[in-house]
Amino acid sequence: MCKNKSGGKKGDTLFTIDPVPYEQEIKSLEAQLSNMKSTVSSYTSDIDASRKNILSLQSQLDLSNKRIKQYQELVAAGAANRFDLEQAIATSQDLQSRISAAQAQKRRWKPNIIRLITVKMRLLQN
């Protein structure tokens, strides 16, 4: 218990905390949070674009694989040349490698989003 000689009464202010440093910290955290929201939004847009790209490439690959089968039958019957079949196979391989690259890129974005969400949650808890 603290005794004073000033005769303070119940309800008197004993001390005041300077709010400025705390207000500055809140503004800083809000700015960081806003920045992270826009970064997450950007990553989400990139992932959506990547997903659409993968779907488009997959459709092209499906068509390419059908053409390979058609050319195989035509070459076997002597109705098409081998070059067209080889070209279809090369196209299919190219599409498959592009799909793999797009999937790898999409996987690289996910850890960044998880990291940003984790930081965001920490900021909200403070």
Question: Which has more pLDDT, 126 or 61?
Answer: 61
Contact predicate 117/86, CB 8 Å: no
Q: What is the mean pLDDT of residues 70-80?
A: 95
How far apart (Å, rounded) are the C-alpha atoms in residues 100 and 111?
18
Asked, for residue 50, whether it belongs to a domain, the answer is yes
pLDDT of residue 107: 82
Residue 4: which pLDDT band, with cuts at 50, 70 and 90?
low
Question: Which has more pLDDT, 58 or 114?
Answer: 58
Residue type, 51: R
Asked, for residue 106, whether it belongs to a domain, the answer is yes
* 76-112 tens-digit pLDDT: 999 999 999 999 999 999 999 999 999 988 888 777 7
Asked, for residue 62, whether it belongs to a domain, the answer is yes
Question: Which has more pLDDT, 60 or 35?
Answer: 60
Asked, for residue 73, whether it belongs to a domain, the answer is yes
Which residue range forms the structural domain that includes residue 108? 46-125
Asked, for residue 83, whether it belongs to a domain, the answer is yes
* Res. 72: pLDDT tops 50: yes
pLDDT of residue 12: 83
Contact predicate 112/43, CB 8 Å: yes
Asked, for residue 23, whether it belongs to a domain, the answer is no
* Res. 5: pLDDT tops 60: no
* Res. 31: pLDDT tops 60: yes
Asked, for residue 37, whether it belongs to a domain, the answer is no
How many domains is the chain built from? Answer: 1
CB proximity list for 112: less than 8 A, separation 6 or greater: 43
pLDDT of residue 84: 95
Asked, for residue 6, whether it belongs to a domain, the answer is no
